[in-house]
Structures are given as structure tokens and as C-alpha cells.
Amino acid sequence: MSQEVPFEYDTIANRANSLNPKIQQAQSPEERKQLVEAKRELHRRVLEMPSTDHYDPGYRRLRYCRYADDFVLGVIGPKSEAEAIMEKVKAFLHEGLRLKHSEAKTGLKHNSEIIRFLGYNITVINSEKIVKSVYRGQHVRRRAGKAHITLYVPEERLQKFATERRYGNWEIMKGASNPYLSQASEVETITSKRRCGSCNSCGDRAI
């Protein structure tokens, strides 16, 4: 089931799009300037409004990801329905597959919380950051991080990676010298930098 676009958002977005042919057909620079400014103002209003109804009571979504015997389910819907799904999964594992789930790794979390899956952190970001991009040949401004699922590499994982490979001191973020690279070819140097590039910043790293 798809989410409905709010009426006001849809109306203003359509008004902005309807100005495109008028801009292309403008007879004078002044007329074109006025139409372009009117379109920009409509886009500014659109960017301040939600494009979907996040509290739509009829909207449902279920996503599934598995690796070997570990899996994670993403549910958009009431908590009661998420709990019912979890109980059905437990029953299927026990009765259908004769498998026992791990109590330590099984549970429900809200999308504002971090989920640890296969050694990585999964969370939902709700940034209001506006970025410029090209959509269908048109230069547009859009919100980049609204309700996007993001995968982060935990800091302890990066620290272990750097320490095991002797890339330097993680605590003070000082890299170790590598005399080999002074004698290596350009291709070998670039390849080596790509391998250790994930440790060039501190804190969790988004993927």
C-alpha cells in the first residue's frame, strides 16, 4: 500500500511544474525572470512541507533482509502489528524449522533507536538538509535525508581495523608512516589508500 501525497503539497508542486512551459515560452527577459522567481518561491514552500503523511493510519510496509541465519525486518505500522509479526516468526522458526531464536538478539526497536546487525549500526536519519540535483533534466533542490535508512560502521570496528593493520594511533588520529609506499608505483599507492580509506575520519562512518 502506497502513501498518499498530501493535497496541499501536491497542489503547490503541480503549480510549480506548470510554470515550466511558460518559462520556456516567455517573450521577454523580464517576464521569464518573474516566472522563474515565482517557481522558486513555490519550491521553497514545497520544501517546507512533508511530501507524505507519516501518520497515515492505513499505510503499511514490510522489508526483510537476511544473511545466513541472521535477519532483520523493517515494519512501518502500529507497534501491535510489529509484535504480532515477531511472534509469528518465532512460532515458524520453532514449529516449522525446529530452530530456536536468540533472545539476546531478538526484539523490537523504534526507528529512532540504533539496531546492530552483522556488526554494523542501522538507523533512520531525518535530516532537513537541502541539496541540489538533476531530475529529468531539470535542476532541482530536494531534501536529502528525510526518513532514510542509513548503515554506519561502529567506531570500535574502525579502531580494530586500523590497529590490526598498523595504520597508526587511533586515539590521537595519527597515521603511521609506510616506507614501502615511497618505492611503490602510482597504482600501488592509490590501491593502498583505497584499502585504508575507511579510517581517515573518526567516529561512526556512514555507508
pLDDT at 197: 47
Q: Which residue has the higher pLDDT, 145 or 124?
A: 124
Q: Which residue has the higher pLDDT, 159 or 136?
A: 159
Distance of CA 169 to the CA centre of its chain: 30
pLDDT at 91: 92
Could you tell me the pLDDT band of residue 86, with boundaries at 50, 70 and 90?
Answer: very high
Could you tell me the pLDDT band of residue 11, with boundaries at 50, 70 and 90?
Answer: confident
How many Cβ atoms sit within 10 Å of the Cβ of residue 75?
19
Across residues 76-91, what is the average pLDDT?
A: 91
Distance of CA 192 to the CA centre of its chain: 28
Q: What is the pLDDT of residues 34-51, one digit of tens each?
A: 998 998 888 888 877 777
Q: Flag the least confident range among 58-62, 83-87, 185-189.
A: 185-189
How many Cβ atoms sit within 10 Å of the Cβ of residue 117?
15
Under a CB-based contact definition with an 8 Å cutoff, are residues 54 and 112 in contact? no
Angle (nearest 5°) at CA 126 between 1 and 150: 80
